[in-house]
Structure 1
Amino acid sequence: MPVIWSKYALTSEGWARDVRVDVDDAGRIAEVRAEQPAQGTRADILLPAPVNVHSHAFQRAMAGLSERRGPDPRDSFWTWRQLMFRFLDQLTPDDVAAITAFVQMEMLEAGFGASVEFHYLHHQPGGAPYDRLSEMSEQIVSAAETSGIGLVLLPVHYQYGGCDKRGLGPGQVRFGNDPERFAKLWQGAQQAVKTLPEDAAVGVAPHSLRAVAREDLATIAGLAKEGPIHMHLAEQQAEVEEVVAAWGARPTEWLLDNLDITERWCLIHCTQLSPREAVRLAATGAVAGLCPITESSLGDGIFDGVGWQAADGAMAIGSDSNIRISLVEELRTLEYSQRLRDHGRAIFATQAQSTGRVLFDAVVSGGAQAAARGRGGLQPGAWADMLALDGTAPDLVGREGDTILDSFIFVGDQRMIRDVWSAGRHLVQDGKHIHHRAIRDRYVRTLAKLRDVM
């Protein structure tokens, strides 16, 4: 069995020295022991690696292309979405595989141990299905075979252009399915994932209240049986207004009043929650899937972390549009957004724990829950999703305990990360993915081709 030994580690029992972690052949942690002699693969500071709970991988290739003012006098999420629709019409299955492998590599190098892909790019330009209905899901799986990341694939059901059940526009038709065809696509995705290691999984994602008929939501969610269920919720003010006008309630109110929301659910963004909605949603045990960098980029709004924390809500983080893939910057942006709104400091900190520790523990636990990835953290039975920091980094030298996390999140970046394991697979070594050059070169060739057709 692989053995990892670290001078210092954050275990499920707290910080410990001279920690030995034994990993079984399936990729789970078999044993964690402190005060052990050095042996096996050695690290300076060992941490659990959180799950990236929300990714639209193909959008990575758009990064940097949406910062110019368009014809609309006020640029917004909705004008950005039109650019995204035009862009995705150029993507082939091979393009998606290349982009996704690069995204997954960047996630690993940034310290994420696994990825949840919220996958809605299903069909050909124009909306015709591929010969194999699950072709694009198979490309996501192929990318995971290349990168080695622990994959949770969420095929997305997307049927309508709004709450009034209007048809999908030109850019959306590649997403669309009726419930019957989506069920077949989901079965194909489930079959495709069987080629991956044991830690891979399939869930399901009704895209949003705007895109799925209310009478179909329970049926779509039921496909996953015991797997994770994710959905965009209350991201934009215009979305809230549309749902209120069509269904007579705010999105979160409607969801809680009409569906059985449990800890299997992860609601993405939640930037437009009222205080009462936050308390009710937190009480279900569902996870709030936050994407602070993307939410900032799109002007979505600020998640009420203070209210959510007070309600003992579970939370996790994702990179969403993938314009910037950084574990520490997602956490830093989340905390700083609260500070800017509330004119304070150390907003998430408690009397017992620092800001960094509170945030890190929350997303490790919430991410494992949202991905149905068992128990997170460095403890027996958990998948061996781990990251190792360089103890010789100037801002980490001589620091101990939670100050390590505060320094990593609020001072550092991924240059502090030396190694990353996903279910025991040692994929990042000395700061780079083991297949970095090949994955990068394929991605660069894909971008060059896309530039020629855009």
Structure 2
Amino acid sequence: MSLSTYRADYAWQGHRWCQDTVLDVRDGHFVIDDQAVANGSSTRLGKYVLPGMPNLHSHAFQRAMAGMAERRGPGDDSFWTWREAMYGFAQRIGPDDLKAIAAQLYVEMLQAGYTHVCEFHYLHHQPDGSPWSDPAAMSQAIVEAAEEAGIGLTLLPVLYMTGGFDGRPLGERQRRFGHTVDAYLRLVDSLRAGDGTRKTTGVALHSLRAVQPDAIQAVLGAIAREMPVHIHIAEQVPEVDECLALRGCRPVQWLLDSVAVDARWCLVHATHLDSGETRALAQSGAVAGLCPTTEANLGDGLFPLAPFIDQGGVLGIGSDSHISVSPVEELRWLEYGQRLVARQRNVAARQAGQSVGESLFERSLAGGAAASGTTIGTIAHKARADLIVLDDTSPLLMARDPGHAMDSFIFSGNVPLVRDVMVAGRWVVRDGQHIEQSRITDRYRRTVERLKA
């Protein structure tokens, strides 16, 4: 393919802003030449150019119920009462509905600056638990939605087998999530056949309460060594208490003691850690998958961010239930939650003079790329050519030099600052508008109106 040459006044490379940067793109990847000099044939992108942010945790169908679980019930509301409302909504959704919802969500992600999504996908079967005529129909709906929107995808089909640590059967409304190990591995193998530049397949173990130890070992023994592995863990205090009661160990510690957890793992939420688990998780190299807006919405609690960073831990961000679809808001509230608990400022900046925005953005790029299992999150030679261009005409970036640009992007307000977005060398957002926005949004509107009826 032909080579496209771009230039940026400042590009985020190698943990810093680099001035007058030339970016060559060929076959959907960056071709970086340290000797390159911008010339008349290059296209200026803008003042501030950043790698696209990976979104490491998504349940796409939940976007269509955002805002519909915010009325108080007869007792104290919690994650568990929200989960019942979510189960009820999930019962209505078929493959066409899922495709329409996911495509709209992915358009919103791209406009916000996410260029890759890890889809933690457990809505597998018909509402009564029986397979569709194509057992991969719901998974293929996600793949088609990502292709349509133009976002990168790590598809994480979920193994979901039991209703608790004691191995009890799935409840009636959980049946459409369930698989045997053999059926699950067949699904994974079928989905890997379509992997390429913009799509990668990994595996997801729903949680320790939903996948028993023998099944975990069977899956890990059967999959390719390079595949990413994601799991929900330690999101809620009752989950920790049940694990302690039945296994004599806290969830994260049990996992670290029982399985060779390493850098291909993403432990989603991991909210409730003691100091030993925090240290051990950081030392494992696994990614802590943090979803601050969803964790706040569900009343989960706060991750021990400062000690985790201090011990070299790797982290990334996700929008999870999509009550917010904005990397800026995830990063902002990751920091703000810590400030409220510690009653201090600039918590994520662990060294004097360090920028909070730069620290969080860079950490989330690296952790999100690791969790995605693909070469993204960086403007570097042979990395996939994903980038976002900020709107330097916005009042929020006026009179901002590179030393304050990232912090202004994240902490200066709620006006969207992402102007243009490229994924794998292809422009998918221009001047804040997605190239297929009207058609995808019209279909989404028809879908949710029908689901509501």
TM bucket (normalised to shorter chain) is over 0.9
Aligned to 1:173: 175
Between the aligned partners of 2:99 and 2:410, the Cα distance in structure 1 is 31
Q: Aligned with 2:215: secondary structure?
A: helix
Q: Aligned with 2:177: secondary structure?
A: coil
Letter in 1 for 2:59: H
TM-superposed CA distance for 1:253, in Å, is 1.0
- Are residue 153 (structure 1) and residue 155 (structure 2) matched? yes
- Are residue 273 (structure 1) and residue 273 (structure 2) matched? yes
Aligned to 1:205: 204
Between the aligned partners of 2:398 and 2:217, the Cα distance in structure 1 is 52
TM-superposed CA distance for 1:131, in Å, is 1.2
- TM-score, normalization by structure 2: 0.96
Structure 1 alignment gaps of length 5 or more: none
- Deviates most, 346-355 or 334-343: 346-355
Letter in 2 for 1:55: S
Letter in 2 for 1:411: S
Structure 2 alignment gaps of length 5 or more: none
Aligned to 2:62: 59
* Cα deviation code 1:17-45 (max 9, x no counterpart): 222211111x1111155762462252221
- 1:81-160 residue pairs with structure 2 within 5 A? 81-160=83-162
- Deviates most, 212-221 or 172-181: 212-221
- TM-score, normalization by structure 1: 0.96
TM-superposed CA distance for 1:248, in Å, is 1.1
* Cα deviation code 1:174-220 (max 9, x no counterpart): 100111111112122223x34xx523100000110000011111222
TM-superposed CA distance for 1:353, in Å, is 2.0
Aligned to 2:425: 424
Between the aligned partners of 1:381 and 1:391, the Cα distance in structure 2 is 28
Contact 2:149–2:436 (Cα < 8 Å) also in 1: yes
Contact 1:28–1:384 (Cα < 8 Å) also in 2: yes
Contact 2:151–2:198 (Cα < 8 Å) also in 1: no
Between the aligned partners of 1:416 and 1:35, the Cα distance in structure 2 is 28
TM-superposed CA distance for 1:398, in Å, is 2.3
Q: Aligned with 1:395: secondary structure?
A: helix
TM-superposed CA distance for 1:16, in Å, is 2.0
- 1:254-333 residue pairs with structure 2 within 5 A? 254-333=254-333
Aligned residues: 447
- Are residue 411 (structure 1) and residue 392 (structure 2) matched? no
Contact 1:109–1:433 (Cα < 8 Å) also in 2: yes
Contact 2:197–2:424 (Cα < 8 Å) also in 1: no
Contact 2:121–2:158 (Cα < 8 Å) also in 1: yes
Between the aligned partners of 1:87 and 1:344, the Cα distance in structure 2 is 40
* Cα deviation code 1:381-415 (max 9, x no counterpart): 21111110011111212212241010010114462
- Deviates most, 256-265 or 414-423: 414-423
Q: Closer, same or farther in 2 for the Cα pair 1:122/1:103, shift >3 Å?
A: same
Q: Aligned with 2:420: secondary structure?
A: strand
- Are residue 384 (structure 1) and residue 399 (structure 2) matched? no
Between the aligned partners of 2:402 and 2:413, the Cα distance in structure 1 is 16
Aligned to 1:334: 334
1:46 to 24, 49, 64: 49
TM-superposed CA distance for 1:13, in Å, is 5.9
Between the aligned partners of 2:348 and 2:33, the Cα distance in structure 1 is 29
Letter in 2 for 1:342: A
* Cα deviation code 1:115-167 (max 9, x no counterpart): 11000000001100111111111111110111010111000000000011111
Q: Aligned with 2:174: secondary structure?
A: coil
Q: Aligned with 2:276: secondary structure?
A: helix
Q: Closer, same or farther in 2 for the Cα pair 1:317/1:402, shift >3 Å?
A: farther
Q: Aligned with 1:113: secondary structure?
A: strand
Contact 2:120–2:204 (Cα < 8 Å) also in 1: yes
Between the aligned partners of 2:186 and 2:15, the Cα distance in structure 1 is 44
Between the aligned partners of 1:97 and 1:387, the Cα distance in structure 2 is 25
Aligned to 1:365: 366
Contact 1:356–1:402 (Cα < 8 Å) also in 2: no
Between the aligned partners of 2:176 and 2:39, the Cα distance in structure 1 is 56
2:82 to 80, 83, 86: 80
Aligned to 1:355: 356
- Deviates most, 111-120 or 419-428: 419-428
Contact 2:54–2:377 (Cα < 8 Å) also in 1: no
TM-superposed CA distance for 1:88, in Å, is 0.5
Between the aligned partners of 1:21 and 1:94, the Cα distance in structure 2 is 39
Q: Which runs of 4+ in 1 moved over 3 A?
A: 32-35
Between the aligned partners of 1:339 and 1:2, the Cα distance in structure 2 is 44
Contact 2:376–2:386 (Cα < 8 Å) also in 1: no
TM-superposed CA distance for 1:264, in Å, is 0.4
TM-superposed CA distance for 1:319, in Å, is 0.4
